[in-house]
């Protein structure tokens, strides 16, 4: 603890401290990534008839499988609504701390779970924590960031989420459900040790509650000494212009309405591309390809690729801009979804696929690389940029509710769609959604790279 204290005191008033703060809060994103992909290695274990593998004693049904996988998504909807209302009252930091508690408690309970009902309850509560993280964390990071590095710091969320997926794919298949649950407690404990004593509240929250001294103290930690007074004056002006806090304010101006349509659209397409379904049923999908590549190995490769692609996206986001990366993401996702759908068509119709055994893994690698270059990282980053401070949390909650509701439906329906349409039909649906999303990005989404909050609001209000 003393080492942590020394290091963070040394880093204050430097760019390193700001980046460290963004990294630390995103430990919750790492945990969210674990929660959302937990079903991939766990469902095969829960489907086993071996009591040494399956702690429930009997295999789960298709219905139970779909609910275990999808419950965090629907629970996240409630988490976003509650967190969005609470964040403006008690602050971003306290909200994140409060809603992180279910992560800690539920993983301990899962370690000793003996019934499907227990898994339902814990997965639901974990989903509430995931929703609060997705609703509040992007706004917090955007508010402590500078205009020049807001995109980069926002993309840390994607890197940490992908690291959570890799953690699941690399460790989950090889340990018991109990051991894996205990391992998931570790990052939450690290989060508490660093975030609670060292990382400040958002300066926007302090100024919105007339706490100028606290806001100034916060800026002295995350800005260079010569920048504090200028930044404080700028933030005071922004907060004064946007003082009221009401759900009706989301629809009161053209800029707010347009911002809401953009973020809801981006987050809706994010799920309609099939990302969460592929993530949740990764091993099942690879097993369905019936190729010589082991499903565990393929999942680990995908996990590594996701981290690398998120790092590259972080480097490029403030150089190429949001819109170019989203379009690149769209094109890559569309082509890869068509390719994997074509493979399943050949497989389904009993064509010889031995010579193209590499196509499913390659297609999913391209899909995740493309997705993480744009849709995996940017929608929530953009969401943190498009709204006035007084409605930022509320708008983020509403947008994230749309995202998570669709995530729930897609994940819940995936096993049933597979039974009705086979994998070919499922991936065809995802590919069509990807084509439509290209038009949305071209004609609706603005470029926000390097622009201040005021400049962005002016663009939306035109």
Is the pLDDT at 311 greater than 80? The verdict is no
Is the pLDDT at 399 greater than 60? The verdict is yes
Q: What is the pTM of this model?
A: 0.74
Q: Identify the weakest region by mean pLDDT among 62-76, 140-154, 192-206, 429-443.
A: 140-154
Block residue for tokens 């347009």:
258
- Rounded CA-CA distance 446/458 in Å is 11
Q: Identify the weakest region by mean pLDDT among 59-73, 228-242, 428-442.
A: 228-242
End-to-end CA distance of the chain: 51
Helix or strand or coil: residue 175? coil
As its CATH architecture, domain 12-199+252-461 has Up-down Bundle (1.20)
pLDDT in tens, 169-190: 889 889 999 999 999 999 999 9
CA distances from 181 to 109, 187, 293, 335 (A): 8, 12, 27, 37
What is the sign of the dihedral through the CA atoms of 17, 20, 22 and 28? negative
- Would you state the pLDDT for residue 189? 93
Is the pLDDT at 366 greater than 70? The verdict is yes
H helices of 349-377, in order, are 359-373
Average pLDDT over residues 158-167: 86
Short-list 263, 139, 277, CA closest to 208 = 139
Is the pLDDT at 242 greater than 70? The verdict is no
Is the pLDDT at 9 greater than 70? The verdict is no
- Rounded CA-CA distance 374/190 in Å is 29
- Would you state the pLDDT for residue 1? 43
């Amino acid at each position: 603890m003393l080492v942590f204290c020394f290091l963070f005191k040394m880093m204050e008033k430097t760019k390193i401290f700001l980046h460290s703060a963004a990294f630390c809060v995103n430990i919750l994103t790492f945990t969210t990534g674990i929660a959302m992909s937990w079903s991939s290695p766990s469902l095969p274990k829960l489907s086993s008839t071996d009591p040494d593998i399956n702690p429930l004693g009997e295999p789960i049904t298709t219905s139970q499988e779909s609910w275990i996988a999808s419950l965090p998504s629907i629970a996240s909807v409630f988490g976003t609504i509650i967190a969005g209302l609470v964040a403006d009252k008690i602050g971003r930091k306290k909200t994140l701390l409060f809603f992180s508690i279910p992560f800690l408690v539920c993983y301990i309970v899962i370690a000793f779970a003996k019934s499907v009902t227990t898994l339902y309850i814990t997965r639901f509560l974990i989903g509430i924590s995931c929703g609060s993280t997705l609703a509040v964390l992007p706004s917090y990071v955007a508010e402590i960031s500078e205009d020049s590095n807001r995109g980069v710091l926002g993309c840390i969320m994607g890197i940490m989420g992908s690291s959570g997926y890799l953690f699941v794919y690399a460790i989950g298949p090889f340990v018991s459900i109990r051991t894996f649950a205990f391992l998931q407690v570790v990052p939450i404990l690290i989060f508490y040790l660093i975030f609670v004593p060292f990382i400040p509240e958002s300066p926007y929250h302090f100024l919105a509650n007339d706490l100028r001294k606290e806001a100034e103290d916060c800026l002295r930690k995350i800005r260079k000494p010569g920048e504090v007074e200028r930044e404080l004056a700028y933030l005071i002006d922004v907060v004064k212009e946007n003082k009221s806090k009401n759900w009706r304010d989301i629809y009161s101006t053209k800029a707010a309405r347009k911002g809401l349509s953009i973020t809801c659209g981006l987050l809706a397409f994010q799920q309609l591309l099939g990302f969460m379904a592929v993530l949740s049923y990764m091993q099942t999908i690879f097993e369905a390809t019936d190729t010589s590549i082991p499903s565990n190995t393929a999942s680990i490769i995908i996990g590594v690729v996701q981290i690398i692609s998120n790092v590259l996206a972080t480097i490029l986001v403030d150089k190429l801009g949001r819109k170019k990366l989203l379009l690149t993401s769209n094109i890559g996702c569309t082509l890869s979804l068509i390719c994997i759908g074509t493979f399943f068509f050949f497989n389904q119709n009993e064509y010889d696929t031995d010579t193209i055994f590499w196509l499913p893994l390659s297609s999913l690698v391209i899909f995740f690389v493309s997705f993480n270059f744009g849709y995996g990282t940017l929608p929530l980053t953009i969401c943190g940029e498009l709204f006035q401070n007084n409605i930022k949390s509320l708008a983020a909650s509403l947008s994230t509710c749309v995202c998570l509701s669709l995530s729930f439906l897609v994940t819940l329906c995936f096993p049933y769609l597979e039974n009705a349409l086979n994998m070919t039909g499922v991936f065809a649906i995802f590919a069509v959604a990807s084509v439509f999303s290209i038009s949305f990005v071209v004609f609706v989404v603005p470029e926000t790279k390097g622009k201040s909050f005021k400049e962005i609001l002016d663009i939306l209000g035109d």
